[in-house]
Every structure is written in C-alpha cells, then in structure tokens.
Chains A and B, each alone.
Chain A
Amino acid sequence: MNSMIVGYGGVIAALAVVVLAMELSKRKTASFSDYATGGRSFGPFFATMAFLNTWLPGAVFVAFGGLTVSAGLLGFQGLFYSLLAVILMFLLARPVHEWGRAFDLRTQADLLGLRYNSRAVRVVSAVIGIAASFPWLVMGMQSLTLVFEYLSFGAVDAIGAVVVGILVVAVRQIWTMRFGMRGVMISDMVQGLLAYGLGFVLVLGFGTWLVTNGHGFGAVQPALYGLPGPDSAAGGLYVFSLVLTGTLGGWCWPDIFVRLFTARSTATIQRSAVQAAPALLVFSGALTVMTLLASSMPDVASAPDHVWFLVARHLGPVALTLAGICVVMATMGNVSANLQALGTQTVNDILGVARGEKVETPRAGRIAVAVFTVAAAGCALALAGAQAGLFVLAMISYQGICQLAPTLFFGIFWQRGNAIGAVASMIVGLTAAAVLQMSYPLSIPWLGGLTSGAAALVLNAAVYIVCAYAFPGSAEERARIDGLFDRLRVPRRRPLVEPAFD
C-alpha cells in the first residue's frame, strides 16, 4: 500500500505542477484565432517543447520499446522518420507561417481551403483528419493502463487501471478546454521537460544498470542487429514504407500541423526544428539503445511492451514511479494537443463552413473540446476490453491520414495542383489504403513489402498529378495562386506582434 501511495502520489504531484504552471500563465483569450493558435506568440523554446511533446507520445516508452525488443533495429525507424519530418518542418515553416499570419489561418484544413480556394478540399481534409485522429485519441486515453497497473504495485487490476487512466486523462483536459492552445503550449513545456528530460536521465540510469548486470551489447540476439530484407516475411520495401509514411504522414496529423501556426515567426519554427533534431536524436536514440539492451532480460522478452516498466521495477518503487510519470507526461501532451486540434478543426472547418461564417469567439472551441473529451472517454471506457479491434481501426486510420500528404505537400511546394486533383486524390488514396490495409495488415507481398499506406500514396500522387495537368484551371485562379506564392518571395520582415512567450 505504501508503494502505491508513492506511485499514484508521484503522478498526482507531477500533474499538479503542470496545472499550476498553466494557471500561473493564464491570459484572457480574446478570440477564436487566439484560442486555436495561442496568438501566434511563442518563441523557439516553447515551439520545440510543444513539437516534441506532441510528436513523442507515451507510446515511445511502451509500443516502440516493445517493437525494439521484438524486432531490434526496426525500432530505430521512429527516429529515422522523426528526423526526416523535422527537415520537412524546416521547409514548411515559411509558406505555412506566412500564409497563416496573412490570412488568419487556424488549422491545416483552413490552409488547404485557402491554397485550393475550395470548401470541398477544406471539409474533406478536416473530416479525414478528425476521423483518423479519433481512434488514436481513444487509444491514447487507454494507454495509461500499464502505468496505473504497475504503480499500484498489485493493488489495482488491469480493468481498474484502464478506468483510472481514462479518468485522469479526462480530468486533465478541463485545463485544455479552458485555456486552448496557449494552455497546451505551456503544459507541453512542463510535460516535455518531465517526459524527455527526466526520461533521458532514467534511460542513462537503466542503460548503466543493464550493462553492469550482464545485459550488454554482446547479450543481444544477433538477429536483432538487422532490418527486414527481400527474403523476410515483411518484404524488402517494408522499412522504406514505414519511414516514408511516418515522415509524410506525420505532418498530416492536425495536432502536429497546427504547431506551425503557434510560433511567432518563420525563423522561430526553423530554429525550433534545429533544436528539436538533436533532442530527438539524443532522447530517442538512447531510449532505443536501452530497450535493445533490455531485450536480453527473460521477463522483458516474454512481455516486450512492458520493457520500460520491467527495467524500472528492478531499480525499486521510486524508479518505477519516475518511469510512470514520464509516460503520463508524454501521453498528456499528445492527448491534449489532439483534443485541442480536433475541437478547433471541427468548429473552424466544418461548423464554420456549414454556417458560411468565420468563427470568432473561443466559446465554440471550448464546447467542441469538451464534447470530444467526453466522447473519447466514453468510447475508451466502453472499449476497455476490445483493444484489439480498436488497434485495427487505428492502423487503418494511420494509413488513411497519410493520404492527405500529396494534397498537402504538392499544394504547398508546387503551384500547379488544383482542387479537383486534391479531392480526387484524397478520396482515391483513402479508399485504396483502407481496402489494402484490411487485406494486408502488415505489408503487400506482391508489391515487395510496401505497406497499404505507401502503395495508396503512389496511386494518390498519380491522381493528383494527372488532374493537375488535365484541369489547368482558369487564368483568374492561376493568378490567385501566383499571388499566394509571390508573398513568399518578398523580403522577410520582423513580426508585427512582439512575442508573449520566449
């Protein structure tokens, strides 16, 4: 019982620190735009921490740790696609921020609606983003099960731990709902320091303990030092597919993309990319190496997803509590950002478009975030015993969200694409990805191991390019698009609004 008090008490104390930081930095939210983007006022440090806390959910300690234990070097694919995505972040910074500030854009769908001058593109991309994100939101709420099971030290069973985890996540969202994006950015900073700062210290400690207790590099199974080749069950193009869809798909998630609107300038986003890259390398690299070392522990080999907790348990209740806090903080960042993005996207790009007006008050955003929180918590509780089915749905939605990539990246970096191509490619890609994912959950053998998402992306991009040439658009529309891109060629100016958070 005393250990449980340490475990649960530690999590409550960490959450109290996060809430206190949010309350102390409270500011009046003047408009919906302010609620959705935090007033575009954050400096590079906040932007970096917000990106990391959204990009690296609690799953990096659990599911990715488990992947490394069972598949070895394949666990590094997360680090690969993360760094490629950060390079894309650097390149996206200028067009997204400049257009965002000039046209008061609040969401990814908002930007696509502007680029293609199309309500259909805006609504379709918003619906895909929301539908694909919701299963991950529900899984995020359920993902704290292991934390509260381990930190109870045997006093709470798995079902009880699911309920505790969901309630903790749901209650924490009261502050997300109240403070909007500004609250998310502040909490991401505190949560990020705890999850990855404290987490990195723990990783070093766990690694040292493993190496000095007979679990060095020589004890790792030799097969784990390879990646799937052409003769493997997954196929030769499997790793390529995972890294490609992870890189392109990462910027298709609404909660990740909206980060580009919260920074105060293009330079801020680019500086945060330069800061995020080494942080990702050091933290994710160390965590992956540590979990690879732990693969030689017999208890870890029999329960790979538990690796983070099993190693921590060997070092006592305090280490286990700190390990649990890291997972809770990482999960909170991801779930809060997801809820905030889904709420604002629903209000801004579906309700706003349906009413034919630009939403200006933050009240509607708060209500939408509250509705999503209740709905996700309800689904998480109702599906507490059906995680397998939810996981299948989540994998389909993951392959589906990647299908926004051609519309997004061609739209931002190529002037020729049009609304017909955007809508057609998104729908064709989504349909192909869903059908292929149901038939080939791992990879497609007759395509050399391409995953469903990667195969559908090829089709999707082909449709987009064919439409771009087949339907060149009116002279007026081409002039409008030229004007949009010309904005990016004018000399850089200092931001009109001074930063509120450095």
Chain B
Amino acid sequence: MKLSSAPGRGHRATVAAVLILNAVLMLFPPIHWAIAGLGPVGALAYALGAPLVAVVSLVLLYTTQRAEEVQ
C-alpha cells in the first residue's frame, strides 16, 4: 500500500515512528490492562505520561519538517 502526502524520506521515517509509538502507548490493550497493577502513582504517571509523549512527538515532527524545509 503506497502512502502519499508526506514529504521527504527522513520526515516519513519520523512520522512512522511517531505514529507507531503513540498508537502503542495509548491504544495497545495489554498496556490498559496492566494499569490497575501499577498503583495510584504508576497509574497517574501513565495517564499523564502517555499524552506527554504525544506532545513531545509533535514538537519533534514539527522541528524535523522545518529542518527539511530549510534544506
């Protein structure tokens, strides 16, 4: 399946890595099931940490794309 609309090979790799990382962190059911065993601190760390990874990922996407545009 050929995906379109994403410019540059380096940027494409970043996009793929970001999508996989965030999809696993927030969508993968076994991670959801394991939360109850982490206790309050672990559960809250996951609930706020996974979205924080998404925020950092977006900044990474933005900066790699900008760098590619400058080149």
List A contacts of B15 (CB < 8 A): 91
Mask, A401-428, CB within 8 Å of B = 1, is 0000000000011111000000000000
Shortest beta-carbon distance from B7 to chain A in Å: 7
The reply to whether the CB of A229 lies closer than 8 angstroms to some CB of chain B is yes
On whether the beta carbons of A277 and B5 are closer than 8 Å, the reply is: no
Determine which of B28, B32, B40, B55 lies in contact with A229 in the assembled complex, contact meaning CB atoms within 8 Å: B32
The reply to whether the CB of B9 lies closer than 8 angstroms to some CB of chain A is no
Q: Mark the stretch among A30-38, A121-129, A206-214, A219-227 that contacts chain B.
A: A219-227
Bound-state Cα–Cα, A277 to B59, Å: 9
List A contacts of B35 (CB < 8 A): 73, 225-227
On whether the beta carbons of B54 and A84 are closer than 8 Å, the reply is: yes
List B contacts of A244 (CB < 8 A): 27
Shortest beta-carbon distance from B44 to chain A in Å: 7
Mask, B5-34, CB within 8 Å of A = 1, is 111000000010011001100111100110
On whether the beta carbons of A274 and B59 are closer than 8 Å, the reply is: yes
List B contacts of A488 (CB < 8 A): 4-5, 7
Determine which of A73, A80, A277, A416 lies in contact with B26 in the assembled complex, contact meaning CB atoms within 8 Å: A80
Mask, A77-112, CB within 8 Å of B = 1, is 001110110110011001100000000000000000
On whether the beta carbons of A87 and B4 are closer than 8 Å, the reply is: no
Determine which of B3, B6, B27, B39 lies in contact with A243 in the assembled complex, contact meaning CB atoms within 8 Å: B27
Mask, A203-241, CB within 8 Å of B = 1, is 000000000000001101010011111100000110110
On whether the beta carbons of B36 and A271 are closer than 8 Å, the reply is: no
Chain A residue nearest in CB terms to B6 = A91
Bound-state Cα–Cα, A226 to B38, Å: 9
List B contacts of A94 (CB < 8 A): 5, 7
Determine which of B23, B43, B59, B69 lies in contact with A84 in the assembled complex, contact meaning CB atoms within 8 Å: B23
Q: A84-B22, A86-B54 are in contact. Are A285 and B2 (CB under 8 A)?
A: no
On whether the beta carbons of B33 and A230 are closer than 8 Å, the reply is: yes
Shortest beta-carbon distance from B15 to chain A in Å: 7
Bound-state Cα–Cα, A415 to B4, Å: 7
Bound-state Cα–Cα, A270 to B62, Å: 7
On whether the beta carbons of A239 and B29 are closer than 8 Å, the reply is: yes
On whether the beta carbons of A80 and B50 are closer than 8 Å, the reply is: yes
On whether the beta carbons of B29 and A225 are closer than 8 Å, the reply is: no
The reply to whether the CB of A136 lies closer than 8 angstroms to some CB of chain B is no
List B contacts of A15 (CB < 8 A): none
Of the listed residues B3, B35, B51, the one surrounded by the most CB atoms of chain A closer than 10 A to its CB is B51
The reply to whether the CB of A485 lies closer than 8 angstroms to some CB of chain B is yes
Chain A interface bracket (under 10, 10 to 19, 20 to 34, 35 or more): 35 or more
Residues of B in contact (CB 8 Å), total: 39
Mask, B36-66, CB within 8 Å of A = 1, is 1011100110011011101101110110010
Determine which of A229, A230, A485 lies in contact with B4 in the assembled complex, contact meaning CB atoms within 8 Å: A485
User: How many Cβ-Cβ contacts under 8 Å join chain A to chain B?
Assistant: 120
List A contacts of B1 (CB < 8 A): 414, 416
The reply to whether the CB of A131 lies closer than 8 angstroms to some CB of chain B is no
List B contacts of A489 (CB < 8 A): 7
On whether the beta carbons of B58 and A273 are closer than 8 Å, the reply is: yes
The reply to whether the CB of A281 lies closer than 8 angstroms to some CB of chain B is yes
Bound-state Cα–Cα, A90 to B58, Å: 8
On whether the beta carbons of B36 and A414 are closer than 8 Å, the reply is: no
Q: A222-B40, A225-B39, A243-B27 are in contact. Are A83 and B7 (CB under 8 A)?
A: no
Chain B residue nearest in CB terms to A231 = B33
Q: A94-B5, A277-B54, A414-B4 are in contact. Are A237 and B62 (CB under 8 A)?
A: no
Bound-state Cα–Cα, A90 to B55, Å: 12
Mask, A252-284, CB within 8 Å of B = 1, is 000000000000000000110110011011000
Chain B residue nearest in CB terms to A79 = B51
List A contacts of B50 (CB < 8 A): 80
Q: A94-B5, A274-B62 are in contact. Are A229 and B36 (CB under 8 A)?
A: yes
List A contacts of B51 (CB < 8 A): 76, 79-80, 83, 280-281, 285
Shortest beta-carbon distance from B27 to chain A in Å: 6
List A contacts of B59 (CB < 8 A): 274
Of the listed residues B23, B39, B47, the one surrounded by the most CB atoms of chain A closer than 10 A to its CB is B47
The 8 closest A-B pairs by CB, nearest first: A226-B36, A83-B54, A225-B43, A229-B33, A76-B47, A80-B26, A227-B32, A277-B55
On whether the beta carbons of A87 and B5 are closer than 8 Å, the reply is: no
Chain B residue nearest in CB terms to A412 = B5
Chain A residue nearest in CB terms to B29 = A240
On whether the beta carbons of B58 and A225 are closer than 8 Å, the reply is: no
List A contacts of B55 (CB < 8 A): 83, 277-278, 281
Shortest beta-carbon distance from B68 to chain A in Å: 10
Shortest beta-carbon distance from B66 to chain A in Å: 9
Mask, A295-333, CB within 8 Å of B = 1, is 000000000000000000000000000000000000000
